[in-house]
Amino acid sequence: MFPNHFVFGPVALTFYGLWVALGMAAALALFSLTAPRRAITPGRARDFCFWMILAGLIGSRIFYVVFHWSEFASQPASVLAYWRGGLMFQGGLITALALSPFFLRYYRLPFWPTADVMAPSLALGQCFGRLGCFSAGCCYGRVTGADNPLAVVFPPGSLAPWGLPLWPTQLMESFALLILALLLILAIRSGSRTFSPPGRVAALYLLGAGLTRLCMEFFRGDFRGEPVVWGLAPTTMAAIVAAAVGLILFIYHRPRSGL
């Protein structure tokens, strides 16, 4: 839960950055392993996944800065210091989706089979990323009772309020995303008729990730942007939209007769 652990002269290695890097590596590795399940060449899959992850990281930072500009107004240069914490996953997903047609065409990859392969990798990458959030103290939970066995207390130097018992929302979401990643891996490897239609595993990811984030919103205590609709924060609305789109796509990509 300490933002900086190793300092080499002017360079500070943070666990936040380390977990993000590990998440990228894990996502790339898993993407390569699952690519053959949708008849996708592992080499092209790795290259495509790399650019999607990079686009996601940039987009998630941009969206976080936009919705939390008050944190950066006095120090604009800190916008580039992503290792201190501050990524908005929904923004990264939107950015990656917006750029995906270009990279899909460049690497000659089909959209829905590629999305299916990316689904468990995204969940696993998020799982690692939330551990980074826990290290930095960002995305922290609401204050809870000191007798809560799940409560965590962050030390001075963390982005979370110091010395208060908080819900460990980062760990809770990380665990939920790990379960989701495992379920998605089982779904894509099962070869069952239920998950054979292209796009169904991707839809299940959107539904699961959206519902997971929506549940976490009730435990979060950090600022998640000014309310936009019905008094809901942008992250809450994004979670609802993701879950709704996932459900619609899951129904739309249902197995057809003759499959």
DSSP-derived letter for residue 214 is H
CA distance between the termini of the chain: 50
**The pLDDT of residue 53:** 80
pLDDT > 70? residue 83: no
2: helix, strand or coil: coil
pLDDT > 90? residue 167: yes
pTM: 0.82
Amino acid letter, residue 175:
F
**The pLDDT of residue 6:** 57
Instruction: Indicate the range of 10-14, 215-219, 236-240, 242-246 predicted with least confidence.
Output: 10-14
| CA 105 to chain CA centroid, nearest Å | 24
- Comparing 25 with 192, the larger pLDDT belongs to 25
Residue labelled with tokens 């129904």 = 251
Q: What is the DSSP string of 75-99?
A: -GGGGG-GGGS---HHHHHHHHHHH
Burial zone of 132 (CB within 10 Å; 0-12 exposed, 13-18 middle, 19+ buried): buried
Q: Confidence band (pLDDT; 50, 70, 90) for 116?
A: very high
Where do the structural domains in the chain lie, given as residue ranges?
4-252
Q: Confidence band (pLDDT; 50, 70, 90) for 86?
A: low
